[in-house]
Structure 1
Amino acid sequence: MGTTRIERSGKGRAIAKTGVVTAAGAMSGTSLDGVDVAVLQTDGHSIAGFGRSDYRSYTAQDRKVIADAFGQWSGDAVEAAAQIVEAAHLEILSDFTDVDLIGFHGQTLAHAPRLQGTLQVGNGAMLADQLGVPVVWDFRSADVEMGGEGAPLAPFFHHACARYIKADGPVVFLNLGGVGNLTWVDPAIEEPHQSGALLAFDTGPANAPLNDLMQERLGLAYDKDGAVARGGTVEMGALELFLAEPYFARMPPKSLDRNDFDEMVALVRELSDADAAATLTAMCAAGVAEAMQHCPSPPSRVLVTGGGRRNPVLMQMLEVSLDCPVVPVEEVGLDGDMLEAQAFAYLAVRVARGLPTSCSGTTGVRAVVGGGTVSVPVDLDQT
C-alpha cells in the first residue's frame, strides 16, 4: 500500500488513532461553481453522523482565472489559480477550526495520468499552519505514481454511504459535476477494497461543456432547470459522433480531464442555443447509458449526486435511457450538494489512519493504495 506522507511544522497536534473523529472535507470541482465544505463523523470505516456544511461561491473573475489555467501544469496562470483557490478555502475553512482534521482536495487543473500525472493546486501545509488544524491533501498523486488513474476517489465513501442507508443490493452512485463518474457498489461486501465491492470510472463529460456553452453564448453560469435545453432538439448526428469516441470503448477503470471532450462544443457550434444545449445534455446522458453496460450486475437504482441532478431535462433523459429507477440521493437521506466534500472528510480520516483510499476496482491501480499528505500545524499552546 502507498505510504502516507506526514509533514510537521513545529511540535504539531496528534490525530486520534482510533474511534470516531470529526473531519471537515473541502471540495472545489471542475464545474467551477465554488468551494463546498462539509463535516462528517467517522472512524474511517463507517459513517457515524453528518455535521454542518457551507458553500463559498467563486466570483466570475475567480472562475475566469482558474479556467485560464485548465490544462496547464506550471507557470503564471497556474500560480494565479492557486492563489485564488487557497484564499477561497482559507476564508470558508476559517469557520471550521473546531474539527479534528480537514480533508483538502484542491482544484484540479490538469489530469493526464498516463502521460504527465495529475495536478491539484492549493497548498495544504499552508492551510494547516493558517488554520491551526491538521490538513490531509494531495490525495491523488500516490495512486497515479502506482499506475492508477487517480480518479475517481469518492467510491470508498460511496461504499460507506451504501452501508449507511442499508442498501439491500447493488446500487450505483452517479456524480454529475463537471465530469460524470459512476460507482457501482455491492454493500454486502464489508470492506471497499475487497474484490467485487466496487467498480468506478468516469462516464464522460457532464456539466462542464454545457456550462461553458451557457457562459460563452448567453453569459449564464449554467442552464438553470434545463430551461434552454428544454426548448431544443437533439442533433442525432452530433450525438452519434460523440459516442464514436474511443473513450467509450475502453474498459474501466478509466478517467477523464475536464477538457478531454472539447470537440463536443465544436460539434454543436453551428446549432442554435437551444439545440446545442439539448444536444450537450443528451451527450451527458448517453455517456452514462454506455457506462452502465459495464456494471457487474444491474443495480436496484441509480442515486444521482452533483449539480446535474437539478437539471430536470437531464434527469428525464437518464430515466428514459436506463433500466432502473433514477433518483436524487436526497431520496435516501443523503446530501447531493455536499457528498463529494463529505467524501474528502472521510478519506482524510482514512489517510491519517493508514487505511486504503483506492484500489484496482476504482482507479485501476496495481495495488491497494492509501495515499496523501498529512500536514500538521504548529501547536501554539506548546510553543
Structure 2
Amino acid sequence: MSGNTKAEPKWVAGCMSGTSLDGVDVALVLTDGAQIFEFGDSFFRPYSEAEQALLRSQLGSWDASDAAVDLIHTAHADALSKLQGTEIIGFHGQTFAHDPKGRGTYQAGDGAVLAAKTGKSVVWDFRSEDVQMGGQGAPLAPFYHHACARYIGATEPLIFLNLGGVGNLTWVDPNIEDPAQEGALLAFDTGPANAPINDLMQARLGKSFDKNGDLAARGTVDATLLEAFANHPYFAVVPPKSLDRNNFHDVLTQVENLQDADAAATLTAMAAVSVAMGVAQCPTAPARVLVSGGGRKNAVMMAMLATHLNCPVEPIEAVGLDGDMLEAQAFAYLAMRVKRGLPTSCPSTTGVSAPIGGGRMSAPE
C-alpha cells in the first residue's frame, strides 16, 4: 500500500445523502483507513417534504441552486452536531448528475463551508479524480466492503449488495489483504432498484416508498415487460460499470398501463433480475449475499432475490453490521484513507486506469 505504513486509529464521521433524497445519514467509525476497529454512534436527519421537493428539482442539474446547496450544508452540519468526539469528517455531498464518460460527476456541497460550520477537517469531492483518470467515479463503497468482510471474519468470497435508488454490488475475496490488489474486488451498479418503485408510489399514491413490498405482494409481474427489460444493453456491458439514477427512468413509462400493484411487482422484479444478472458476471459464485439499503426491508424484493440466487440472501444485520448506515460509514473509512494517501478506488471497482486516492481536504480555519 502507498501512504504511511502505520497510522493511529481515529474516530471519523462519515456522511451520506443518497439518491433516494430521504435525508442525511451520519456515522462514526474508529479506523486507521486500513482496518475497522469499532463502530460508534450514528444519526439520521430526515429531509422534510419541502426539502425533498427542492432537492428533487435539482436532479440532473450540473449547477445546483444556492437554496439547494445551502440546505445540503445546513442539514449535514445539523446531523453532525449530534455526534461527539470526531476529529475528521468524510462528506460525500449530494449527487445531482453523474455522466462519467461525458460531463463527469457532480456532488453538490463544499467541504470548506462544512469545515467552517463544524470546526472539523473535512474530506470531500471523493469522485472527481477517479473520473478524470478514466474511472466511473462509482461505486466508492467497495474498499469499505472489503474492510467489513475482514472485520466479520469472512473466509470465502461474498457479495455486499446495496439496494438504494440504484442497485450496486461488491464481490469481495476477503483472503486478499489489500483491496487495491488484483482479484480482491469487483464492483458495479446492477440496475435500477428502489428509485423507480419510489417514483411510482409518489406519482400514483402520494407515498414515498412501497413499505415492506406490501403493494408489490398484491400484484402480478408482467413477464413480457420483464423479458424486454432483461434485454437492455447495459446488462451485457462487462463490469465495472455505473449508472445515473435516471438511466432506467423509462421503466416507469413501460409500466404506466399496469394496475398499481402489478406495476410495483414488475418494477420490484426488474430490480431482482438485474441483480441476478450482475451476480452472474462475478468471478466466482458468492458464499452469501449481504443486503444493505432500503431494499432489504422489502420482503418481496428479498424473496425474489432468494429465488434467483443460489446462495443465502440476508440483510446485512445478519452479520452485525448496520444496513442503514453502511454508506455513511464507508465515507468515514474513505476519509481516513484519503488522509493517509491510500487508494480509494482501483480498476476493478470503477474502471479507473490505476489504483488512486481521490478526495480533497479542507481545514476549518
Work out whether the TM-score is over 0.5. yes
Counterpart of 1:149 (choices 136, 142, 145) is 136
What pairs with 1:1-383 in structure 2 (closer than 5 Å)?
A: 18-74=7-63, 77-96=64-83, 98-378=85-365
Match of 1:9 in 2: none
**Alignment-mate amino acid for residue 63 of structure 1:** Q
Q: Does the aligned pair in 1 maintain the 2:124–2:359 contact within 8 Å?
A: yes
Aligned-pair CA distance for 1:97: 5.3
Q: Map Cα deviations across residues 137-184 of structure 1 (whole Å, 9 max, x no partner).
A: 000000000000000000000000000001010000000001100000
Partner secondary structure for residue 308 of structure 1: helix
Q: How far apart are the structure 2 equivalents of 1:271 and 1:181? A: 27
Distance 1:151 1:71 in 2: 17
Q: Is the 8 A contact 1:171 1:302 kept in 2?
A: yes
**Tell me, which stretches of 5 or more residues in structure 2 are unaligned?**
none
**Which ranges of structure 1 fall in alignment gaps of 5 or more residues?**
5-16, 379-383
Structure 1 length normalisation: TM-score?
0.93
Once the two structures are overlaid, the 10-residue window that deviates more, 311-320 or 92-101, is: 92-101
Q: How many angstroms apart in 1 are the aligned matches of 2:357 and 2:65?
A: 27
Q: Which amino acid aligns with 1:223?
A: D
> 1:70 corresponds to which letter in structure 2?
L
SS of structure 2 residue aligned to 1:319: helix
Residues 29-84 of structure 1 deviation map (CA, whole Å, 9 limit, x = unaligned) = 0011111000000010010000000000011111111111111112xx54332222
Distance in 1 of aligned mates of 2:349 and 2:211: 32
Q: What SS does the corresponding residue of 2:200 show, helix, strand or coil?
A: helix
Could you give the per-residue CA deviations for residues 289-313 of structure 1, whole angstroms, max 9, x where no partner exists?
A: 0101111011100000011000000
Question: C-alpha root-mean-square deviation of aligned residues, in Å?
Answer: 1.4
Question: What is the aligned residue count?
Answer: 363
Would you say the 8 A contact 2:123–2:359 is kept in 1? yes
Residues of 2 paired with 1:109 and 1:130: CA distance?
23
CA distance in structure 1 between the aligned counterparts of 2:141 and 2:204, rounded to whole angstroms: 33
Alignment partners' CA distance in 2, 1:50 and 1:340 = 13
Q: Residue deviations 1:172-211, cap 9 Å, x none?
A: 0000001100000000000000010000000001101100
